[in-house]
């Protein structure tokens, strides 16, 4: 498929198209669910359920878009196709922050501590994996593995020390779930707002992403302030990751799958990828959440959505490892 | 097995007795509306209490763990307090939800669905009596609630009388050790099982207050219980698991109960359910602790 030049009109058209996909998926996820409410005699009850579903759809959209955007940004700036907030340990850092703040401070502080955890982790990953100003892809992934293991241990320590009644809650939350339980509309608003802000920011930085992808030296030579771009992007990606983890726990692989699917269709231009990633990330998680609700309706029990995304994402990661990564490292 | 049958019989008898005074009790509930009560019970002991009070037929839903009495197991399950199918709950249209939890978001969520929700606590005997009263008030069945309370009180004092004057051995009430770490949960002071041990003529070997503390085998040795009661239920009740539990305890040679061969492995779920069965639980504990007739020592 030949890629035609990107005009403003085509840009708007593309955004509208991706938004339409998300809207259709969301509408389906409100109409369908664990119970067939359309056969109910009482409209009152049906309206209650519609409210629950709307909350789930908005939560899944905000979280999915946040993780996909963060994944896209990490992949661009770390120049590593396997980067993703979950794999790099950024979600893990956010989780530790959220768990600590929810248990010992207040739930209100959770997004803030999630952000701090995420940002600290990005800093550590970057410092560890960097060698003479260059990021080694192997080292980057390995440091992610180690950091994830460390956070896993820290959260297990916290779980072992708290009272047994809360253990189940923490363990369940760590699987990553879109819960309509104890609705927190304000937090959905916060995550949604941050996602929109980050999407606009990344849309303006997209050209810089493209040049960095070619090479940091080249980008610098062409006038891109690489250091500042990196700082701003990492802070923004950490913000949305931290807030989304506070809302739904660590949901993995959305940030990995989504940008890659889009690159296969749209090519490597980040000006096209940024808006598409927002809506596809949102749609993917809405679909995954709908799947869990349908399963619940069928069997009475359903896995948390994080389990579904990890089960789908694991094989996808291996596929990328066998194909894309080899090509990428050969170029270097 | 005949334990469960006997317990079931007791619950059914109570339910029938309660059914008799049901008509007179109903108007006590001042809900203001005439719609019939539709109860959602989210805790096994609450479900048992409801059935013992003759309110089981008003239940429309249950938690995944509410499997007793068998009539309850036939009701639709909506999950547990961590993972609930809220759409299902709306579909069942309950107007009273009874839940045992300290988490206020559970109550808030259910209230948000338009279901009047009552959070109960059942860690001690006093809380159990209070729970029965609350359920009686909420369901407009104060009469059956009082009967149930009296039945439990009578059962407990009957057990007290039987063991009066006997020596009070130090008893450790434990769940099976976890595979790998060998740690185990034991009944702390203040739990209703602790109170049942007292009724059954024993002293709790665990010296401190606390819900269900987790202890190491070393701590168990240090407490020097004269009798150890291990309650192996669910997955733990498999024959090979029970054999493993016995072997694990046999290794703790420093424990007087092990030396005297008084590590007793029971398989009675009702021992740790704060519901209508506590009288029976106390009787069972008294029988195994004092080797009374009617029940073999192990």
- Residue-level pLDDT at B23: 39
Q: Are strands B117-120 and B96-100 parallel, antiparallel or unpaired?
A: parallel
- Residue pair A237/A85 in contact (Cβ under 8 Å)? The answer is yes
- Residue pair A258/A277 in contact (Cβ under 8 Å)? The answer is yes
- B90 chain-A contacts, CB cut-off 8 A: 35, 45, 48-49, 52
Could B87 and A301 be called an inter-chain contact, meaning their C-beta atoms sit closer than 8 Å? Answer: no
Domain presence at residue A153: yes
Could B85 and A300 be called an inter-chain contact, meaning their C-beta atoms sit closer than 8 Å? Answer: yes
- CA dist A306 and A314 (Å) reads 12
Tell me which H or E stretch contains A72.
helix A43-78
CA–CA distance from A120 to each of A79, A147, B39, B173 (Å)? 20, 11, 49, 46
Residue of B nearest to A107 (CA): B105
> What are B7's two structure tokens?
């317990």
pLDDT at A328 over 90: no
Domain presence at residue A63: yes
Q: How confident is the model at residue A253 (pLDDT cuts 50, 70, 90)?
A: confident
> Any chain B CB within 8 A of the CB of A184?
no
Segments forming the whole domain that contains residue A268: 56-331
pTM here is 0.83
Radius of gyration of chain A (CA): 20
- CA dist A213 and A223 (Å) reads 14
Reported ipTM = 0.82
Q: Give the number of other Cβ atoms within 10 Å of residue B293's Cβ.
A: 6
Q: How far is A6 from chain B (nearest CA, A)?
A: 45
Could B87 and A33 be called an inter-chain contact, meaning their C-beta atoms sit closer than 8 Å? Answer: yes
Q: How far is B197 from chain A (nearest CA, A)?
A: 23
State the Cα angle at B163 between B277 and B125, rounded to 5°. Answer: 35
Split into its structural domains, chain A has a count of: 1
Q: Which of A52, A169, A296 sits opposite B82 (nearest CB)?
A: A169
Domain presence at residue A40: no
> Any chain A CB within 8 A of the CB of B112?
yes
Could A45 and B90 be called an inter-chain contact, meaning their C-beta atoms sit closer than 8 Å? Answer: yes
Domain presence at residue A314: yes
Q: How confident is the model at residue A213 (pLDDT cuts 50, 70, 90)?
A: confident
- CA dist A58 and B40 (Å) reads 29
pLDDT at A46 over 80: yes
Backbone angles phi, psi at B120, to 5 degrees: -115, 155
> Any chain B CB within 8 A of the CB of A259?
no
Ramachandran category for residue B201: left, alpha or beta (phi over 0 → left; psi -120 to 50 → alpha): left
- Residue-level pLDDT at B104: 82
If you average pLDDT over every residue of chain A, what do you get?
A: 88
- Residue-level pLDDT at B14: 56
pLDDT at A223 over 90: no
Domain presence at residue A228: yes
Domain presence at residue A242: yes
- Residue-level pLDDT at B17: 54
Selected residues 116-155 of chain A with any CB under 8 Å from a CB in chain B: none
Domain presence at residue A50: no
Residue of A nearest to B106 (CA): A182
Q: What is the mean pLDDT of residues A56-68?
A: 96
Task: Using 50 as the pLDDT threshold, list the residues of chain B that sit under it.
Answer: 1, 19-32, 296-298
- Residue-level pLDDT at A331: 34
- Residue-level pLDDT at A207: 92
pLDDT at A83 over 60: yes
What is the assigned CATH class of domain B166-290?
alpha beta
**Chain B contact probe: residue of A35, A102, A184 with most B CBs at under 10 A:** A35
- Residue pair B177/B146 in contact (Cβ under 8 Å)? The answer is no
Q: How confident is the model at residue A22 (pLDDT cuts 50, 70, 90)?
A: very high
pLDDT at A236 over 90: yes
CATH fold, domain B2-155, is Rossmann fold (3.40.50)
Does residue A136 sit in helix, strand or coil? coil
| Range name among A13-27, A101-115, A262-276 with the lowest pLDDT average | A101-115
**Chain A contact probe: residue of B42, B64, B76, B86 with most A CBs at under 10 A:** B86
Beta bridge partners of B231: B266
Residues in chain B: 298
> Any chain B CB within 8 A of the CB of A35?
yes
What is the CATH classification number for the domain harbouring A137?
1.10.3470.10
- Residue-level pLDDT at B146: 96
- B93 chain-A contacts, CB cut-off 8 A: 42, 45
Q: What is the mean pLDDT of residues A71-81?
A: 88
> What are A142's two structure tokens?
């390995």
- Residue pair B109/B101 in contact (Cβ under 8 Å)? The answer is no
Could B105 and A181 be called an inter-chain contact, meaning their C-beta atoms sit closer than 8 Å? Answer: yes
pLDDT at A90 over 60: yes
- CA dist B279 and B148 (Å) reads 11
- Residue-level pLDDT at A142: 86
Does residue A22 sit in helix, strand or coil? helix
Does residue B78 sit in helix, strand or coil? coil
- Residue-level pLDDT at A44: 85
Could B109 and A183 be called an inter-chain contact, meaning their C-beta atoms sit closer than 8 Å? Answer: yes
Q: How far is B35 from chain A (nearest CA, A)?
A: 15
């Amino acid at each position: 498929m030949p890629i035609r030049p990107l005009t403003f009109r085509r840009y708007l058209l593309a955004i509208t198209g991706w938004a339409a996909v998300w809207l259709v998926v969301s509408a389906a996820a409100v109409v369908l669910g664990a119970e067939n409410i359309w056969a109910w005699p009482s409209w009152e009850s049906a309206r209650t359920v519609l409210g629950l579903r709307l909350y789930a759809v908005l939560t899944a959209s905000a979280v999915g878009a946040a993780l996909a955007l963060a994944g896209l940004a990490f992949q661009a700036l770390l120049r590593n196709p396997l980067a993703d907030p979950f794999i790099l340990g950024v979600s893990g850092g956010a989780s530790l922050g959220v768990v600590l703040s929810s248990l010992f401070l207040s739930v209100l502080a959770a997004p803030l501590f999630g952000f701090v955890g995420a940002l600290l982790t990005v800093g550590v990953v970057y410092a560890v994996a960097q060698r003479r100003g260059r990021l080694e892809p192997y080292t980057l992934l390995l440091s992610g593995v180690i950091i994830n293991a460390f956070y896993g241990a820290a959260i297990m320590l916290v779980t072992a020390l708290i009272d047994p009644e809360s253990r189940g809650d923490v363990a369940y939350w760590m699987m990553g779930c879109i819960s309509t339980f104890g609705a927190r509309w304000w937090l959905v608003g916060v995550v949604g707002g941050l996602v929109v802000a980050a999407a606009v920011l990344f849309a303006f930085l997209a050209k810089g992403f493209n040049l960095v992808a070619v090479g940091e030296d080249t980008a610098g030579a062409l006038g891109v302030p690489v250091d500042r771009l990196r700082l701003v992007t990492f802070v923004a990606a950490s913000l949305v990751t931290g807030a989304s983890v506070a809302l739904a726990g660590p949901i993995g692989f959305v940030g990995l799958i989504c940008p890659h699917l889009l690159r296969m269709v749209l090519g490597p231009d980040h000006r096209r990828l940024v808006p598409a990633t927002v809506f596809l990330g949102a749609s993917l998680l809405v679909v995954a959440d709908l799947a869990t609700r349908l399963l619940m309706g069928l069997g009475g029990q359903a896995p948390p959505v994080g389990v579904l995304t990890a089960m789908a994402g694991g094989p996808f990661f291996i596929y990328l490892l066998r194909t894309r990564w080899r090509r990428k490292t050969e170029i270097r | 097995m005949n334990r469960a049958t006997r317990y079931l019989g007791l619950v059914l008898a109570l339910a029938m007795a309660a059914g008799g005074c049901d008509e007179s009790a109903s108007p006590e509930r001042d809900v203001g509306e005439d719609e019939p009560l539709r109860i959602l019970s989210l805790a096994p002991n609450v479900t048992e209490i409801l059935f013992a009070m003759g309110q089981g037929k008003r239940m429309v839903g249950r938690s995944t763990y509410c499997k007793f009495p068998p009539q309850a197991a036939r009701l639709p399950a909506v999950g547990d307090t961590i993972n609930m199918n809220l759409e299902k709950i709306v579909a069942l249209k309950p107007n009273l939800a009874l839940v045992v939890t300290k988490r206020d978001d559970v109550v808030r969520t259910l209230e948000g669905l338009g279901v009047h929700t009552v959070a109960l606590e059942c860690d001690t005997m006093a809380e159990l009596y209070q729970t029965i009263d609350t359920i009686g008030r909420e369901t407009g069945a104060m009469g059956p609630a009082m009967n149930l309370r009296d039945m439990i009180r009578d059962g407990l004092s009957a057990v007290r009388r039987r063991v009066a004057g006997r020596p009070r051995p130090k008893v450790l009430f434990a769940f099976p050790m976890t595979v790998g770490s060998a740690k185990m949960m034991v009944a702390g002071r203040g739990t209703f099982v602790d109170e049942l041990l007292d009724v059954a003529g024993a002293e709790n070997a665990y010296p401190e207050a606390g819900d269900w503390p987790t202890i190491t085998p070393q701590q168990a040795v240090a407490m020097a219980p004269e009798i150890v009661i291990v309650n192996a239920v669910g997955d733990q009740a498999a024959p090979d698991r029970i054999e493993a539990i016995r072997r694990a305890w046999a290794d703790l040679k420093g424990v007087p109960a092990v030396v005297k061969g008084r590590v007793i492995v029971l398989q009675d779920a009702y021992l740790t359910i704060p519901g209508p069965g506590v009288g029976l639980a106390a009787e069972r504990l008294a029988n195994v602790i004092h080797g009374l007739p009617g029940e073999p020592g192990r």
